[in-house]
Amino acid sequence: MIKLHSSEKGMTMKPAYLDLPSVSNYIALSESTVQKMVRESSFPSPRLLSGRRVAWLTREVEDWIEARPIANLLPPTNCGYGRPGKPTT
């Protein structure tokens, strides 16, 4: 089933595949962490799209996200970025 997302310009299709920068941004982990997790088989492997192009199925990335355990830890009290050299309170 193709899901549609609304935007300012109307309805758009959800991408079927995500490249490495998009996957990294989508799951909030660095590109090197994604690559490491693929090597360790703890993240879905990318699919070969052409001779030298790979990408991840959006559905498989979303399934991986949903399978993550619920954390017992609360986020830190200050999750924002402060000015360099200044402690944040």
Does any domain span residue 27?
yes
Are 36 and 30 spatial neighbours (Cβ–Cβ below 8 Å)? no
Does any domain span residue 55?
yes
15-72: per-residue pLDDT in tens? 999 999 999 999 999 999 999 999 999 999 999 999 999 999 999 999 999 999 988 8
Does any domain span residue 81?
no
Does any domain span residue 26?
yes
Residue-range definition of the domain harbouring residue 20: 16-67
Does any domain span residue 73?
no
58-83: per-residue pLDDT in tens? 999 999 999 999 888 877 776 666 65
Does pTM top 0.75 for this prediction? Answer: no
- Domain tally, the chain: 1
How many Cβ atoms from other residues are within 10 Å of residue 31's Cβ? Answer: 13
